[in-house]
Homo-oligomer: A and B are copies of this chain.
Amino acid sequence: MSQPVTLHDVAAAADVSVATASRALSGKNRVSRETVAKVQAVAAELGYRVDPIARALREGSTRIVGMIVPVIGNPYFAQLVDAAEEQLQQRGFELLLADSHGRIDEELRRLTVFGERKVDGIIIVPSDHTASAGALRSIRSNIALVQIDRSAGASLADFVGVDNDVAMTLLLEHLQERGARSVAFVGADDVTSSGLERAEAFRRALERTGLTLVRQVRGQFDTETGVAAADELADGPLPDAIVAGSDLIAFGLISRLRERGVAVPDDVLVTGFDGTALSQIFTPSLTTVVQPIEGIAADAVSFLIGRIEGSAAPVRNSRIAPTLRVGESTTTR
């Protein structure tokens, strides 16, 4: 409501120069005890708050972190944003959010704007496994960068994500225990690194467990892909189990299978991936791997702030193991 109090006002009221007032408040310079006390008292009384814009112009640093996700509507990304925002907030950073809608051109444009806005760092879920690399390389080198959930190249910047190998092993071993011998995979295509990696991790886990691959369907991480895959799968001989690359895919899959007269888990077992809140509420509740969202966000923010503070450590690639959560989609048989 009232006119903002400037450093000048504080200095005048405390009877010192603006420089001294600035130093007294920042604390990182030698200023006498009394002066510091006086300035702080006056500042508090006047309700002084530094103007972040003036500081940013002067310092070239904004204490703002930009985050770019492909679809905020995906509950997994929403949770990731939520967790990251909270972490950043605690460390005194604000979150500028952008949605790339999974499009590389939008991604580039948003990165550019973030650069112009002089964000201190960017947390990005690269939309394209290969094509995003160019966009990432184009950002100013003084902006810290961390890739989260998906990667556009391990050498580009720190990366934090789920350990897909652990995830697929957990899932396939569970399915094997439940008696499955043949299994189909419905995941995202190779455009996203997570789509690619999960498919590969699935294949490796398949070999280890000795299960038989019946069919693979690849699309996006959304429900529509699950729906379409259900149609494909329902036409052929059913496998014992279907491993979905995301909870959303599993939702679409189960829903459409049911419409086609295929019951889960009675006729076929289905697993999800992400551990979204709804996977427990869904009917049947989903057997899925729970992403360590808090851990991923915490690591990403730590890495990022480390970089912002000037860390020149080698690029890190951090994989966090998920946990298996068993639901009705593989049990009530």
Task: Identify the A interface with B (CB < 8 A).
Answer: 1, 4, 49, 51-54, 56-57, 62, 64, 71-73, 75, 78-79, 81-82, 85-86, 89, 94-99, 113, 116-118, 138-141, 223, 227, 251-252, 254-255, 258, 277-278, 281-283, 285
Contacts and interface: CB of A to CB of B under 8 A. Distances in A.
Q: Which of A57, A72, A139, A223 neighbours the largest number of chain B CB atoms within 10 Å of its CB? A: A72
A94 B51 CA distance: 19
Contacts of A223: 277-278, 281
B113 A94 contact: yes
Contacts of A118: 51-53
Nearest to A95: B97
Nearest to A284: B283
Nearest to A226: B281
Residue from the set A94, A113, A258 with the largest chain B CB neighbour count within 10 Å: A94
A140 B95 CA distance: 21
Contacts of A62: 53
A116 B281 contact: no
Contacts of A49: 116
A149 B116 CA distance: 32
A267 B86 CA distance: 43
A140 B79 contact: no
15 contacts: A49-B116, A52-B117, A53-B56, A72-B82, A73-B79, A73-B82, A75-B75, A82-B99, A94-B113, A96-B97, A223-B278, A254-B283, A255-B282, A255-B283, A258-B283
Contacts of A54: 57
Contact of A97 (B81, B281, B285): B81
A271 B89 CA distance: 37
A95 B113 CA distance: 12
A283 B257 CA distance: 11
B73 A85 contact: no
Contacts of A98: 85, 89, 94-95
Contacts of A71: 82
A130 B290 CA distance: 38
